[in-house]
A = this chain, B = another copy of it.
Amino acid sequence: MKLTEPEWLIMNTLWDKHPAKARDVVERLPSSVNWAYTTVKTMLDRLVEKKAVSKSKRGNTGLYEPRLSRRQARRTALRMVLDRAFDGAFGPMMYFLVEDESLSAGERKELIKILSGKSRSKGEQK
């Protein structure tokens, strides 16, 4: 499931804390974002339609909850870049990342540790 930019913002607040009322989402949106309540409402409803979010009701008030996991969304986003921008080649993308981004020595070390630690072969997890 592909998310658009504003949808990411909404989902992020939802992942951080849920269930949430539309009002909650509005309030927890990054301060740089100044959407009208109705805008957020519309987007929430569209996300429900897309099945990225589920909606229940307590009394008259709608409660929204992520249905799409953050992990899955991240996976989709990365795979998209991987496919479009690196023709699906994982190695080159990783190479690009460590080459292009300026990693601190600490970050590099951290990564090496992660990589070394994962000696066991991991099964697919879809």
Query: Which residues does A use to contact B, with CB under 8 Å?
Result: 3, 5, 8-9, 12, 71, 73-75, 77-78, 81, 84-87, 90-91, 94-105, 107-108, 110-112, 114-116, 118-119, 121-125
Output the least CB separation between A98 and chain B (Å): 5
Question: Given A81-B77, A87-B12, are A118 and B95 neighbors across the interface (CB < 8 Å)?
Answer: no
Q: Which residue of B lies closest to A81 (CB)?
A: B77
Output the least CB separation between A52 and chain B (Å): 14
Whether B91 lies near A94 (C-beta < 8 A) is no
Question: Given A84-B5, A102-B124, A103-B118, are A91 and B110 neighbors across the interface (CB < 8 Å)?
Answer: yes
User: 13 A-B Cβ contacts within 8 A?
Assistant: A3-B84, A8-B85, A9-B84, A77-B81, A91-B111, A95-B114, A98-B111, A99-B114, A102-B121, A105-B119, A108-B116, A112-B116, A115-B115
Q: Which of A77, A78, A103 has most B Cβ within 10 Å?
A: A78
